């Protein structure tokens, strides 16, 4: 893999004709160390956010030794990625609806013992696939509100209040260790999301009168984007710790979380070239079918920066992007704030794409890029430092404590 000092250096020295993904392993390692040192329990990396083998190895080396996997392909990926460095992690199969064949392969071939479920059907499936194993950690997923999060995960998975008593009691009988898990939604903007969900857990435990060994608060931990600047992650951890300590569980019960975005967002960005300007619309060479799926389909605003040797004095304006494909849906409304004189031939860095950017990339219409360069400069924003000094005039983001 090529290495370079900075995003600006990549643009000015290489002048790439196709999008280039920039990775920052130090930023990912810093995020991992933050969770390992400050979260009051065990952190599992949610592989779906970015399934890069290099990132998986970086996180493992920084102390993330447990992984939340959602498919048998992710089970194989993590196992193979870590085998290359002679390491082995604990894999937790946390998708609540799995193919029976996937459960069997995960259990018998890869030694997976932790599975989630949200129905009696899934519990029975897990028991069949594992041969009624007696060494399982089974986590019952509860449905909780996503009202404090930018992206809801409240409709597809999770046992409803009227279903949890029977399900928890049956799972307790089958499991060596019983867990309760939930997911408050992606990009949770308030610690209250976790406090409210933990109250739902409390009610379920009291109703079922079961001994619980694991409380898994799931993912949803945020990163930093324009218009979405969360409070410090320590506030989330404090709210979770207070809630966990108040639950009717034994002193030996474990606390888990499943950060995905929070561990991977700062890991990578993408450098794109402007191919055409039409008023305040820029045609760029990546888009909805590449790393900018969320910008197109969810209206997500990513930080952007014009990559020029010398900063000008142009005022900032809001721009929309069109991607390179022939599809009208390849459109990112933004607004993305850039100097008013941006023009065809300019390069732009689009930041905080380590979460879901690479994971969602396709080759539709023949537009794709496998070019990846490791850089040494800081990400465009960070939750793991008090502030990020702007690399150039175009982006200034200061974060409060």
Which of 92, 181, 257, 326 is catalytic? The answer is: 326
Examine residue 335 and say whether the peptide bond preceding it is cis (omega within 30 degrees of 0): yes
Pairing verdict, β 316-322 and 331-339 = antiparallel
Phi (first) and psi of residue 379, to 5 degrees: -65, 170
The two structure tokens encoding residue 354: 């380590």
CB 35 within 8 A of CB 45: no
Half-sphere exposure of 269 (CA within 13 A, CB side): 30
CB 78 within 8 A of CB 47: yes
Residue 326 annotated in active site = yes
DSSP track, 262-307: HHHGGGEEEEEEEEEEETTEEEES--TTTTTHHHHHS-----EEEE
Q: Within its chain, how far is the Cα of 347 from the centroid? A: 26
CB 68 within 8 A of CB 61: no
The two structure tokens encoding residue 16: 């790439």
Residue ranges of alpha helices (H) inside 137-266 are 161-174, 192-208, 233-245, 261-264
182's CB contacts (< 8 A; 6+ apart) are 141, 142, 143, 144, 158, 197, 200, 201, 216, 217, 218
The two structure tokens encoding residue 95: 């998708």
Active site residues: 326
């Amino acid at each position: 893999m090529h290495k370079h000092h900075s995003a600006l250096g990549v643009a000015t020295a290489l002048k790439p004709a196709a999008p280039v993904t920039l990775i920052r392993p130090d930023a990912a390692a810093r995020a991992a160390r933050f969770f390992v040192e400050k979260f009051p329990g065990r952190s599992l990396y949610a592989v779906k956010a970015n399934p890069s083998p290099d990132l998986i190895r970086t996180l493992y080396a920084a102390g993330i030794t447990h992984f939340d996997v959602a498919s048998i392909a992710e089970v194989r990926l993590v196992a193979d990625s870590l085998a290359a460095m002679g390491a082995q992690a604990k894999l937790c199969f946390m998708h609540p609806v799995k193919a029976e064949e996937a459960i069997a392969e995960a259990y018998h071939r890869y030694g997976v013992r932790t599975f989630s479920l949200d129905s009696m059907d899934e519990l029975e499936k897990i028991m069949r696939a594992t041969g009624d194993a007696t060494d399982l950690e089974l986590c019952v997923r509860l449905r909780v509100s996503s009202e404090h999060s930018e992206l809801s995960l409240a409709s597809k998975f999770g046992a409803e209040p009227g279903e949890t008593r029977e399900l928890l009691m049956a799972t307790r009988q089958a499991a060596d260790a019983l867990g309760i898990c939930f997911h408050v939604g992606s990009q949770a903007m308030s610690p209250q999301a976790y406090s409210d969900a933990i109250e739902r857990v409390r009610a379920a435990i009291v109703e079922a009168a079961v001994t619980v060994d694991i409380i898994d608060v799931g993912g949803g931990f945020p990163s930093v984007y324009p218009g979405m600047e969360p409070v410090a992650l320590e506030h989330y951890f404090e709210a979770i710790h207070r809630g966990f300590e108040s639950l009717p569980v034994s002193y030996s019960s474990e606390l888990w979380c499943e950060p995905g975005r929070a561990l991977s967002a700062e890991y990578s960005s993408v450098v794109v070239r402007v191919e055409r300007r039409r008023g305040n619309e820029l045609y760029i060479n990546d888009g909805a079918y590449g790393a900018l799926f969320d910008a197109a389909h969810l209206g997500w605003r990513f930080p952007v920066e014009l990559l020029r040797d010398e900063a000008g004095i142009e005022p900032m304006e809001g721009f929309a992007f069109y991607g390179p494909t022939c599809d009208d849906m390849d459109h990112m409304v933004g607004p993305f704030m850039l100097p008013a004189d941006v023009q065809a031939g300019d390069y732009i860095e689009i930041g905080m794409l380590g979460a879901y950017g690479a994971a969602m990339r396709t080759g539709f219409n023949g537009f794709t890029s496998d070019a990846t360069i490791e850089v040494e400069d800081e990400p465009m924003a960070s939750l793991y430092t008090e502030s990020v000094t702007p690399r150039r005039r175009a982006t200034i983001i200061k974060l409060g404590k």
